[in-house]
Structure 1
Amino acid sequence: MTPNKEDYLKAIYKLGGMEELVNNKQIAEALQISPASVTEMLGKLKREGLIHYEAYKGSRLTPEGMRAAISLVRGHRLWEVFLMRHLGYSWSEAHEDAELLEHITPPRLTARLDKFLNYPAYCPHGSAIPHPNGQIDRAPLQTLNLLPVDTASHIRRVTEEKELLDYLQETGITIGSPVCVMKAAAYEGPLTLDLEGKRVQISYKAACQIYVDETAGL
C-alpha cells in the first residue's frame, strides 16, 4: 500500500471513521488537498476493500481498513515517544519524523517498540496510543477555550500540527501542566493563562486546539 493511501486511512480513522461516516470535505481539510482528489482516492480505497463509501454521505473504514489505520497510528505515536524520550526531539520534530517512520514500520517492530517503551498509553502530545486490537483508553476532555475563567484544570492533549506545536512549545505549555484561565478577551481575543504560576497569553485559535480535563457541569 502506498504512503498516500495510508495517509487517507489514518485521516479517516482520526476523524471518527471507525464508527461513523466521514464526509469528503473533512478529509480534504485534514489532508489539505482538493475535494476532487479526495473523491478519486476514495474510489480506489473502496475497490480495494479498505473503506465503505457512500456518495454524498461519506466513508467508513472496513475491518481491513481499520487494521491498517490502527497499525499506522500505533507506529506513529510510539515513534514520537521514542524520539522525544531517547533522542531529545522537540514536539514538532517528533511529529514530522514519525510521519515518515510510520509508513516503513512493520507490525513486528511496532510490537517490540511498544515493549521497549514499557507500553506507553499516550504519545508526547497527549493522544492515546491504540492497543493492538484497536481499543483506546479515553478520558473526557474539552478544549481550553471552553474552560470558564478562574477554573483550574490540566492540559491533556494538543492537536498535532507543526506550527501549533512550535507555538505552544515556545509558551512553555506541556502535557499534564496545571492551567487556569485568568482572562478571556472579548470577540475571540487572546486568553491569559496561569500556567504553573507563570502568566502566559495565547491566541483563541490555539486554545481551540488544546484539550484539558472536562469540568463538571459542562
Structure 2
Amino acid sequence: MSEDKISENIEEYLEVLYRNGSNGEQVSTTKLSKDLGIAPGSVTQMLKKLENLGYINYTPYKGAILTDEGMKIAQKITRKHRILEKFLMDVLKIKEENIHEQACEMEHTLSDEAERALCTMLHNPDLCPEDNVIPACDFDFDSCKQCYSQKDFDQVINRKFNLLSVSELTSDSEGTVSFIRGNDELLDDIAALNIQVGNHLKYSFNEDSVDNSYSIMVEDKELNIPVEMANNIFIRI
C-alpha cells in the first residue's frame, strides 16, 4: 500500500501509536481509545486492520506495537504535524490553545515539498511548541548541510530505515549514528566531541548526570551531552 493512498484515519492511529510508543513500547487499546475519543470496540477493529496492512503487531488484550513500516509512516505524519505547530505559533502567531487542532487539519494535505520548505524557513527546528522532538526527515542525508546544498530533490534517495533521537531513547538503547540535524554552529559543536555519522552510540540513564544532559557512550568514550544535542543526534536502532 503506497503512502499517498493511506487514509487520514489510519494516519491518526499511527500518529497516536508513535506518540505513546515511539521506542517499541506496547500501547494499550484503552490508551488509544482515550486519546482518539473512539470506543474500544472500534479501536480493536482498526488495530486488526492495521495489523493486516503490516503497520503494527497487535496482541489482543495487551495492545499494539508499530512495525518498521508503520513507524516510517507515523514519523512522517508526526513530523509534519509538529513542524506545522511550530510554524503556526512562531510565524503566524496563532493562539497556543488553537495550534494543535489546526495542525491536525493541515498535516494530511501538506506536501513533502512544502514540509521541506517549512523546515528550511524555520531553520531545522528540533522541538514543537509542546517540547516534543520533531522526527528527522526521511532523506538519505548525513546532516542538514547536505540538504542546503541539494538543488534537485527529485534525485534524492529516501532513507530505508527509521531513526530516533538520543532524547527519545530508553536506557541501554544503542545503535549507529545516522543523521545529525542543526545549523553550522551546532554541527561544529557536535563534531568537536568527535561524534559523527557511523559511530556506535549507546545511551544509559545516569542519575548522576547533570540536569538536562544525557549520558552516552560513543565508540567506548563516555560523554555527557546537553539536551539540544540529544534532540538532534539520530541513531538507527
Normalising by structure 2, we get a TM-score of: 0.56
Alpha-carbon distance in structure 2 between the residues aligned to 1:92 and 1:64 = 32
Preserved contact between residue 81 and residue 104 of structure 2 (Cα < 8 Å): yes
Q: 1:56 to 1:125 in 2, by over 3 A?
A: same
- Contact 1:6–1:69 (8 Å) recurs in 2: yes
Provide Cα deviations, 1:189-212, integer angstroms capped at 9, x if missing partner: xxxxxxxxxxxxxxxxxxxxxxxx
Question: Could you list the per-position Cα deviations for residues 27-50 of structure 1 after superposition, in whole angstroms to 9, with x for gaps in the alignment?
Answer: 111112110010010111111111
Instruction: Give the partner amino acid of 1:135.
Output: L
Task: Tell me whether 1:109 sits opposite 2:114 in the alignment.
Answer: yes
1:57 aligns with 2:57: no
1:54: how far off? 1.4
Correspondence for 1:12: 17
Equivalent residue, structure 1, for 2:86: 81
Q: Which amino acid in structure 2 is aligned with residue 91 of structure 1?
A: E
Alpha-carbon distance in 1 for matches of 2:63, 2:88: 35
Aligned partner of 2:222 in structure 1 is none
Residues 19-68 of structure 1, C-alpha deviations (whole Å, 9 max, x = no match): 12111111111112110010010111111111111122211111111011
Is the 1:20–1:60 contact (alpha carbons within 8 Å) kept by the matching residues of 2?
A: yes
| Aligned AA (1:109) | A
Partners of 2:76 and 2:47 lie apart in 1 by 20
Give the match's secondary structure for 1:99: helix
- Structure 1 alignment gaps of length 5 or more: 141-212
Contact 2:23–2:168 at 8 Å: present in 1 too? no
1:64 and 1:105 map into 2 onto residues whose CA distance is: 20
Structure 2 residue matching 1:87: 3-state secondary structure: coil
Cα gap change, 1:137 to 1:91, in 2 (>3 Å): farther
Question: How far does the alpha carbon of each residue in 1:135-184 deviate from its partner, in whole angstroms, 9 at most, with x for none?
Answer: 235289xxxxxxxxxxxxxxxxxxxxxxxxxxxxxxxxxxxxxxxxxxxx
The percent of aligned pairs where both chains have the same amino acid is 37
- Normalised to the residue count of structure 1, the TM-score between the two structures is 0.60
Runs of 4+ in 1 over 3 A off after TM superposition: none
Q: What is the distance in 1 between the residues matched to 2:126 and 2:38?
A: 31
Equivalent residue for 2:96, pick from 91, 96, 107? 91
**Equivalent residue of 1:56, what SS?**
coil
The one-letter code sitting in structure 2 at the alignment partner of 1:28 is S
In 2, distance between residues paired with 1:119 and 1:39? 37
